[in-house]
Amino acid sequence: MTGTPGSSRPARQPGPRAGQELATWWLARGEHQLPPVGEWLTVAERRRAAGLRYTKRRTDFLLGRWTLKLAVARVLGWQDDHAGLMRIEARTAPSGAPRLYIDGEPAAFGVSLTDRAGYAVSLVAARPAAVGCDVEVVEPRSGAFVSDYLTEAERRLVVAAGPARDKMANLVWSAKESALKVLGTGLRRDTRSVEVTVADLSPPQRTWSPLQVRTAEGAAFPGWWRQSGVFLVTACWPAGGPPPAALEAESPLDTMPPSHQWLGRPLS
C-alpha cells in the first residue's frame, strides 16, 4: 500500500473488491504517548478540543484522533509527520460514528474508534464499510448489570465461565458495543437486541479469536476478540474476514496498565 503525503489523494486504495471478505487493520495508543496539541490536528479539530472543558473528554477526543490518524497513515504507507496527519480527519456523523476524510474529501475506508481507561483503539477497513471496535477492561460487573443488559443466553455464558465470569461479562459487553457501532445506533438501541456467542474463552493472550454477534432481525456479524493483559478488544463487521492486522509489532495494551491521569486534574 502506497501513498504520498504530498499528493492530493492516496495513490492506491488497499484491500479486496466489494463482495469479498473485508481486510482490516488496528492500532492502539495510550494517553502517555499523546503529543501536545499542534499542527497534526485540523483547524476544526483544534477548535473542538479547545471547547472541551473537562480533562477526560478533551484527552479522550485528542487521543482518539491521534490514534485514528496514525492508523490511517500507516495503512496508506505515509510518514506519520504532522503535515501528513493534518490531512487525515475523522468527522462525526449524525449517528455519532466517525467518518474518514482525507484532504477534506470522503475517503474510501471504513473506520471505528473506541477508548477506555487511558487508551484508544482504531480500526481501519479496506473499503467504506460499517465496522465496529471496542476496548474494555476486565473488571467486576454486577448481577444487575448482567441481568439488565445481557440476553438469557449470554447470562448463561457468564455463569458457565465460573472464575472467568468477569472476563466473559466484559467480553460480551464489548462485542455488543462493537456490533451496535456497525448498526449505527450505539447504546440508543436495546443491548439485548444483539446476542454474542464466543466459542473459546481461553485462547492465548495477544491472539485474535472468533466470535459472532446476531441481531434480533437475524443479521449475523462475524467478529474477533483479543486479550492483552486486563484489556479486551473486540471488532466485527457484516461481511466477515480475517482478524484485524496489527500496524505495529507490540501494542501498548500488551504491557501497560489502565490509566486515569485525568483524576488529578478534572478540569482542563
Quick check: helix, strand or coil at residue 209?
strand
- Higher pLDDT, residue 244 or 2: 244
Residue 121 has what pLDDT?
Answer: 98
Residue 189 exposure: Cα atoms within 13 Å on the Cβ side: 20
Q: 243 forms bridges with which residues in the sheet?
A: none
Using a pLDDT cut of 90, give the percent of the chain over it: 85
CB atoms under 10 Å from CB of 248, counted, come to 13
Domains 22-129 and 133-244 share a fold: yes
Give me the CATH topology for the region 133-244.
Ribosomal Protein L22; Chain A (3.90.470)
Q: How confident is the model at residue 49 (pLDDT cuts 50, 70, 90)?
A: very high
**Is the sign of the CA dihedral 77, 79, 80, 86 positive or negative?**
negative
Residue ranges per structural domain of the chain = 22-129, 133-244
The one-character DSSP state at 80 is: -
Phi, psi of 251 (to 5 degrees): -90, 145
Give the three cell numbers for residue 54. Answer: 473537562
The amino acid present at 157, given as its one-letter code, is L
30 contacts 256 by C-beta, under 8 angstroms? yes
Confidence (pTM): 0.90
CA separation for the pair 127, 93 (Å, rounded):
17
pLDDT higher than threshold 50 for residue 259: yes
CA separation for the pair 196, 198 (Å, rounded):
7
May I ask the CATH class of domain 22-129?
Answer: alpha beta
pLDDT higher than threshold 90 for residue 198: yes
Q: How confident is the model at residue 199 (pLDDT cuts 50, 70, 90)?
A: confident
Residue 161 has what pLDDT?
Answer: 96
Residue 268 has what pLDDT?
Answer: 65
CA separation for the pair 143, 126 (Å, rounded):
39
pLDDT higher than threshold 70 for residue 18: no
